Structure 1
């Protein structure tokens, strides 16, 4: 190997003359630029994140946020003695989120940043379980919810809590206040409304559910708290639907979780869990430990974790403020509505959620109208060939025969990108209306679907 290896052409270097290590731990070392190139090139096979409309997570960050993340790469947020200012920024973030969600006294609330909304949700669930146990609860605790993200199924299984999911019925896509009484009893530790449902993007009626629980308490004496899963809606409604009551303005809401890395605009790995008042977080969940030179309190499921996400979330808060968040989030809703208008104009789809800020998050969901010679899995597959990732899936049990699609519109997805998507949608629909793909259930990701009769191509309106 030449002595001046740095001057050699990268792609003639020894490490690139064979495939990347796969089977076991490699014996030999390689130059950093070679290892980087191997990993970099393999990642070219991933999709383009900004074209992934299936994910709820942030796919665009500004350069200053990237710089703060890089500068915080070596900061362990749990080490509050060594990194006291990181701890201070996290505390400020907790108070700001509590204020955003109308906590009675944001200065005294207990809360924490988390790796994401799933960890925050589980912390809220654990607090509810411990409060139930402190009240003398016996037997198997349960919680009531509608169609939920899988983190709640994990919570139920991992922490030995029965999950009681209210089935969808009629033409409704969510848990309804009038349905929950049949599922609640003295062992119900909480009801969990989803404020930005995963399947459709719609908000469940937190105020209506709170009123239903008031009625249950008046009739039975059983006082059941609410934990709001605001994974996506928690950083939208305060700015774009401020009169919608869903948060700590309802006394029955004891805790809320949200993802900073979804509509909070923070990089991946940011979540928040906030409790209404200090008494709502049982002391048994708080560990005071001596670690790395100082005493500290911790009540996360994770211990050592990076500080950059909480730091960058604080940067977002102070950079944008209420005015900036309102401006940015309103624009995302406008883009979502533009997409919904284009889809509806085809005459092929019924809109479930068209991006109304009073009804749901910045997402668009739809179902196929009438009988076509293609299905939504075919459309999803065809769009994937153009680089667009848009989820098609069946609804939960009791409506599992119905397939829908959902596109999540995020910061960085522009009016122009919608036009590019609609143009590709038009091409895909033109082909599908003439030639159905006829995907099998395995090819559609294991879901069952059926193709039906065709609509003449001349009856299909262009996407835009």
Structure 2
């Protein structure tokens, strides 16, 4: 069998003379190279990840990072007794991040790696719920937020907590401090401030929210903590907008979550949850587990998971340091601004976030100026034909009748790629002006979106 596999043409081997198994467990084995080719060829139908400007996640890694990931495929991060150095690298990362976010005692701050910022957000929420309960809270707990990533809606539903989501109003695109207090009461376990909003990429005013809650407490109201969802902004602002106060410099901020696999540059599957002080993570949430010969404290929703993401995160931290991260992240902002300026010059677009580092993450968000004879769903559809994945979607409650587009610019997206995108946007606009989609058919009938549909905002 091995001689046949070595001598015959790959595409004449058994297994490629029929469709790939799709229903039921396959009865027969395949040559390794045949199975590889089947899977490889099916994946050709996926989009090109670096042209996916809807995702926030890392799509470029250098060769050294890839080598570390490959060398760590068999390391389970939960096996701290068997892989003690992987556990040590995780501890170092926690201390480094705590220092980056100005924790009062970074060397002793509690934190954990997670599979991403969604899990980290839920851990921060659970800690807030347990602290509220320890203070004597009863009834149905709630948390207050503005437009948030869907993980917070999951958190509310899975853990039986009321979510009080503040609608947008007037010309506002984020939760504003003067809207927060009216939604709080004695059962509010936290206010979630989003530092890098999913819809537009804008930063919410964490300092303003904190000050509003300070005034509420000083006036005899409840003492409500802030959790910062810094999924995307947590590894940007410390390097590119250090004057913006959003982290543990604000005493009311008790916990922060972030994605290492977004602007932290780590590969997919890296998230972080950090608490301001030890007392902010209730001890009853930490399990001391006897596992495979060792005693291990753990606070995660997942158990077994690969260690390569944490190892590679540590690699980026020590490779770049503060100066390197500042240089790299500033370069991404420069490309973002270049794209925003180019889109503005095209004419039909109004910028809602132009990529200024003090305002938000490395993203460009825009809407159409008035009536253009086409809409942003049409443009998104046309751009897909050129390989660009940039979604159009409605704003959240309060401004749900407005449609926007958002392009997230990440490490590895160059000025040249931005110019290619701008040329394709201009080409697609010209095509839409000359050949608008038929108004006699709905977009669903013609194979695209319906204009009245409200597709989910890309969250990943």
1:260–1:271 CA contact under 8 A, matched in 2 = yes
Partner of 1:264: 264
CA contact (8 A) 1:130 1:282 kept: yes
* Residue 429 (structure 1) aligns with: 429
TM value normalised by structure 1: 0.95
Aligned residue in 2 for 1:311: 311
- The structure 1 segments of at least 4 consecutive aligned residues displaced by more than 3 Å after TM superposition are 1-4, 438-447
C-alpha change, 1:110 and 1:251, in structure 2 (3 Å) is same
Closer/same/farther in 2, CA of residues 367 and 449 from structure 1, 3 Å limit: farther
Show the counterpart of 2:391.
391
Query: 1:99, CA displacement in angstroms?
Result: 0.4
SS at 1:367 equivalent: strand
Spell out, residue by residue over 1:259-301, the C-alpha distance to the aligned partner (whole angstroms, 9 max, x if none). Answer: 0000000000000000000000001110001001100100010
For structure 1, list consecutive stretches of 5 or more residues without a partner in the other structure. Answer: 451-464
Deviation of 1:370 after TM superposition, in Å, equals 1.0
Q: What is the distance in 1 between the residues matched to 2:422 and 2:5?
A: 49
Alignment of 1:40-439 (within 5 A): 40-438=40-438
Residue 452 of structure 2 corresponds to 448
Give the secondary structure class of the aligned counterpart of 1:274. strand
Does the 8 Å CA contact 1:190/1:227 hold for their aligned counterparts?
yes
Q: Secondary structure at the match of 1:366?
A: strand
Secondary structure of 2:397's aligned partner:
coil
Provide the rounded CA distance (Å) in 1 between the counterparts of 2:48 and 2:67.
22
Aligned-residue offset at 1:220 = 2.8
The aligned residue for residue 16 of structure 2 is 16
The answer for unaligned runs of 5 or more in structure 2 is 455-460
SS in 2 for 1:107: helix
Q: What is the rounded CA distance, in whole Å, between the counterparts of 1:445 and 1:102 in structure 2?
A: 45
Distance 2:206 2:313 in 1: 26
- Asked if structure 2 preserves the Cα contact closer than 8 Å seen for 1:441 and 1:449, the reply is no
Displacement of 1:5: 2.7
Which segment drifts farther, 441-450 or 407-416?
Answer: 441-450
Query: TM-score when scaled to structure 2?
Result: 0.96
Task: Find the aligned partners of 1:340 and 1:199 in 2 and give their Cα distance.
Answer: 16
8 Å contact kept, 1:275–1:281:
yes
Say if 1:441 and 1:448, in contact at 8 Å, map to a contact too. no
1:12-42 CA-partner distances (Å, limit 9, x unpaired): 1011111110011001111111100100000
CA distance in 1, matches of 2:450, 2:259: 29
**Alpha-carbon distance in structure 2 between the residues aligned to 1:421 and 1:287:** 49
Secondary structure class of the residue paired with 1:335: helix
Q: Quote the offset at 1:433 in angstroms.
A: 1.4
What residue number does 1:462 align with? Answer: none
Residue 107 and residue 368 in structure 1: after superposition, are their counterparts in 2 closer, same or farther (change >3 A)?
Answer: same
The number of aligned residues is 450
- The verdict on how the C-alpha distance between 1:344 and 1:251 changes in structure 2, with shifts beyond 3 A counting, is same
Cα distance per residue 1:330-367 (max 9 Å; x no partner): 00000000000010001211100000000000000001
Q: Is the 8 A contact 1:394 1:447 kept in 2?
A: no
Assess, with a 3 A threshold, how the Cα gap between structure 1 residues 347 and 158 changes in structure 2: closer, same or farther: same
Name the CA distance, whole Å, in 1 between partners of 2:334 and 2:449. Answer: 32
Paired residues of 1:231 and 1:259 also in contact (CA < 8 A): yes
Q: Residue 3 of structure 1: CA displacement?
A: 4.5
CA contact (8 A) 2:5 2:31 kept: no
Distance 1:441 1:393 in 2: 15
